[in-house]
Structure 1
Amino acid sequence: MGKQYRGKALWKLPSRGRGTCPICKAQRIKVLYDITLEDGSKIKVCKRCQHKKVDTLPMVN
């Protein structure tokens, strides 16, 4: 993949893939990673929170 195409898919996402992470509450950060909660619903989280265990997460909206 050439360098000019890196990250091009982010431009098609809403807000270019940025938002507020529901776990750590970091704002204007890329929320690109899906995690599945205990009830089966999926949420998008940031890079720092993608490997957190589901049972240790605080209650998310």
Structure 2
Amino acid sequence: MSKAHRGKGLVEHVKGGRATCPLCKRTGIKVIYEQDINEKKFTVCKQCKTALAKGKLQEAVAAL
């Protein structure tokens, strides 16, 4: 099982990858997944990455 998003793999991220997600506005959550939204790159949390893959969060994407 891959451990790229836990522990030692997060050293290159600021604060271990923890910040505020631009879509769901959660604070102190890991935002380490890059997504192309409206031809811009954003780093989002795991829950938002899954929701975007399933076609949800369209209103949050429109706000960006």
Normalising by structure 2, we get a TM-score of 0.70
- Larger proportion of helix: 2
Bigger relative CO (Cα 8 Å, ≥ 6 apart): 1
- Stretches of 4+ aligned residues off by more than 2 angstroms: none
Give the Å deviation of 1:13: 1.2
Alignment of 1:3-42 (within 5 A): 7-38=7-38, 40-42=39-41
May I ask how many residue pairs the two structures share in their alignment? 56
In the alignment, does 2:45 pair up with 1:43? no
- Equivalents in 1 of 2:29, 2:42: separation in Å? 15
Bigger Rg, structure 1 or 2: 1
Amino acid at match of 1:48: Q
Contact 1:37 1:54 in 2 (8 A): no
Structure 2, gaps ≥5 residues long: none
Structure 1, gaps ≥5 residues long: none
Normalising by structure 1, we get a TM-score of 0.73
Identical-residue share of aligned pairs (%)? 38
- CA-atom RMSD in angstroms: 2.5
